[in-house]
Amino acid sequence: MNFRKQLTLTFTGLTTAVLVITGLIIYLVSEQFTRRQYFQRLIDRGVVSAQMYLEQDEFTSQRMQKTQRKFFQSLSEETLAIFDQERQPHVVSDSLGYTIPDKIFHLIDKHGEVEFWLHGKQGIGIWYEDNEGDFYVIVMAKDLTGSEKLLNLKQIIIISVVLGCVVMALAGRFFARKVLQPIVAIVQEVNKIRAANLHLRVQERDTQDEIAELVNTFNQMLERLETSFYMQKSFIANASHELRNPITALSGELEVTLMQDRSPADYKASLQALQKETNRLEKLTTDLIMLAQTGFDEQEVRQERVRIDEVLLEVKAELNHALPQNQILLDLSSLPPNPEQLTVLGNRSFLQVAFKNVLENASKFSDHQPVQVSLYWQEQQVQVRVQDQGIGIPEEEIGRVMEPFYRAHNARSRKGTGIGLTMAEKILRLHGGRIELTSSQTQGTTVTMVLPLVTS
């Protein structure tokens, strides 16, 4: 059973239940009111009858019926009976063809007034005190008019419930189709999306309801999938190409070396070339592994409290040791009063890799000229700004330098794999941050890394 049928049946069932309960309440209240009203009418009739008959010295049965017809509108199958204290008949209608149970007399003695049903009739019994003595007054009759009204009300309620159920079933089907129409449209649009056309998106709605939220969430998921697919395709294509270069160089150098005997100096030069390519292959492999590791889930990465200023100092010391020609100038003049306010949630090792890659690029592409690193603190975030004096990035290629293995055309003569900036961007994104690039060819590049601070 599809969701539309379930929604229709649920809507119809709830509506039917409400109609049935409402109809039942109306009928029961009406029945109670009708019976209560007729009992009151019998009580009034019993009191008046007692006053008429008991205040006269003698009343025959024929005289009683004549007086009743004169002063009262006859009730259906009405019976009047007056008994003395000994429960002996004093005045009795001819229509009384059965004995009044002792239980009714006991209830009259106990309560002074009682309502009862006997032989399908409504009846009342009252205790009437008179100067001639005390008497039991009992009046019984059938409320045919009230019963007919209740029967008519019952039929109206049943017909109304049945018709209401039919109308609600049709209305439920219509509204279920109308409510689910956006979802049907979304399903149709989603079915058109394949791996080959991940650029397609589900049409967004102008409303601010749950359907619009679902569409936005799905489009965001498609955007992440498209990025992931693109990164995967780019990674495979470029990784195979980049790995092939050092392997080809190693193979070629070995073949040339083994073609003939050489002097020790030649072997040494050949080994140095092999070592250079081996180091390049090792660096590329390490970068590839690190790039794959940065695909971890954000919740798994952001678990440790890390001081950004400490990470920068560690990276600067490591680079100064590995490459003494680096001239990295670290400006920490904008630190907050409390150094703990520079704390972020993240992975210390990953952040070191991100900062190291950016600083290495800045030093390498500026021919080891001074690189200015500034730390700016705000209430909600911290910015690490790296400004070099290098070759810069062509304006038309700034948007692509974050792609894996992509290198601007003026940077291809420098050593590198084209992974460093991509890796740094992924690491910053996993930490809830971002990288901003501004560059001008021949005037250097400024890389700004923004990270959210721990709020508590």
Q: Is 80 exceeded by the pLDDT of residue 314?
A: yes
Q: Are residue 254 and residue 314 in the same domain, yes or no? A: no
Cβ atoms within 10 Å of 205's Cβ, excluding its own = 16
Joined together, the tokens standing for residue 385 give 């700004």
Interatomic CA distance for residues 162 and 179, integer angstroms = 25
Interatomic CA distance for residues 180 and 175, integer angstroms = 8
Residue 167 domain flag:
no
Interatomic CA distance for residues 300 and 30, integer angstroms = 67
Residue 168 domain flag:
no
Joined together, the tokens standing for residue 19 give 């109609």
Q: Are residue 308 and residue 421 in the same domain, yes or no? A: yes
**Three-state DSSP class for residue 204:** coil
Q: Are residue 46 and residue 140 in the same domain, yes or no? A: yes
The tens digit of pLDDT for each residue in 270-282 reads: 888 788 778 767 7
Averaged pLDDT score across all residues of the chain: 79
Angle at 348 between CA 347 and CA 352, to 5 degrees: 120
Residue 169 domain flag:
no
Q: What pTM value is reported for the model?
A: 0.46
* Phi, psi (rounded to 5 degrees) for 171: -65, -40
Q: Are 444 and 359 in contact (CB under 8 A)?
A: no
Helices (H), 331-437: 348-365, 420-430
Looking at 268, 293, 318, the residue that finishes a domain is 293
Residue 95 is given by DSSP the state: T
End-to-end alpha-carbon separation of the chain, Å? 50
Q: Is 80 exceeded by the pLDDT of residue 357?
A: yes
For residue 84, what is the domain's CATH number? 3.30.450
- Give the pLDDT score at 156: 92
Name the β-bridge partners of 114: 125
What average pLDDT does the segment 304-310 reach? 88
* Of residues 68 and 121, more confidently modeled: 121
Interatomic CA distance for residues 68 and 307, integer angstroms = 106
CA gyration radius, the chain? 49
Give CA separation, 1 vs 10, 98, 174, 229, in Å: 12, 63, 17, 36
The tens digit of pLDDT for each residue in 97-117 reads: 667 888 888 888 888 889 888
Q: Which residues are within 8 A (CB) of 400 and not within 5 positions of it... i.e. 6 or more apart?
A: 406
The closest alpha carbon to 149, from 38, 39, 42, 30, belongs to 30
Residue 174 domain flag:
no
Q: Which residues are within 8 A (CB) of 286 and not within 5 positions of it... i.e. 6 or more apart?
A: none
**3-state secondary structure labels for all residues of 240-258:** HHHHHHHHHHHHHHHHHHH
Q: Are residue 379 and residue 404 in the same domain, yes or no? A: yes
In terms of residues, how long is the chain? 456
Joined together, the tokens standing for residue 108 give 């009259």
Residue 353 domain flag:
yes
Amino acid at 217: T
Q: What is the DSSP string of 387-407?
A: E--S----GGGGGGTTSTT--
**Cα Dmax for the chain:** 161
Name the β-bridge partners of 447: 386, 437
Joined together, the tokens standing for residue 448 give 């700004």
The closest alpha carbon to 33, from 212, 153, 126, 137, belongs to 153
Q: Are residue 316 and residue 276 in the same domain, yes or no? A: no
Interatomic CA distance for residues 364 and 420, integer angstroms = 12
Q: Are residue 17 and residue 108 in the same domain, yes or no? A: yes
Range of the domain at 376: 301-452
Number of domains composing the chain: 3
Q: Are residue 289 and residue 425 in the same domain, yes or no? A: no
Residue 395 domain flag:
yes
Q: Are 70 and 148 in contact (CB under 8 A)?
A: no
The tens digit of pLDDT for each residue in 358-392 reads: 888 888 877 778 889 999 888 788 999 998 888 88
For residue 318, what is the domain's CATH number? 3.30.565.10
Interatomic CA distance for residues 35 and 337, integer angstroms = 86
Q: Are residue 422 and residue 345 in the same domain, yes or no? A: yes
Looking at 274, 293, 312, the residue that finishes a domain is 293
Helix (H) or strand (E) holding 238: helix 210-258
Amino acid at 12: T
Name the β-bridge partners of 373: 330, 386
Measured over the CA atoms of residue 225, residue 230, residue 231 and residue 237, the dihedral's sign is positive
E strand spans, 160-295: none
* Of residues 57 and 29, more confidently modeled: 29
Q: Are residue 275 and residue 212 in the same domain, yes or no? A: yes
- Give the pLDDT score at 13: 85
Q: Are residue 406 and residue 353 in the same domain, yes or no? A: yes
Joined together, the tokens standing for residue 438 give 């501004």
The tens digit of pLDDT for each residue in 331-348 reads: 888 788 887 888 888 888
Interatomic CA distance for residues 388 and 362, integer angstroms = 5
The closest alpha carbon to 141, from 208, 283, 20, 44, belongs to 44
Residue 155 domain flag:
no
Q: Which residues are within 8 A (CB) of 44 and not within 5 positions of it... i.e. 6 or more apart?
A: none
For residue 250, what is the domain's CATH number? 1.10.287
- Give the pLDDT score at 165: 87
Q: Are residue 310 and residue 344 in the same domain, yes or no? A: yes
Q: What is the DSSP string of 293-335?
A: HTTS-HHHH--EEEEHHHHHHHHHHHHHHH-TT--EEEE-TT-
Local confidence band at 42 (pLDDT 50, 70, 90 cut-offs): confident
Residue 204, CA atoms < 13 Å, CB-side half-sphere: 8
Residue 178 domain flag:
no
**Three-state DSSP class for residue 57:** coil
Q: Are residue 401 and residue 421 in the same domain, yes or no? A: yes
Looking at 267, 293, 319, the residue that finishes a domain is 293
The tens digit of pLDDT for each residue in 146-197 reads: 888 899 999 999 999 899 888 888 888 887 777 777 777 777 877 877 766 7
Local confidence band at 24 (pLDDT 50, 70, 90 cut-offs): very high
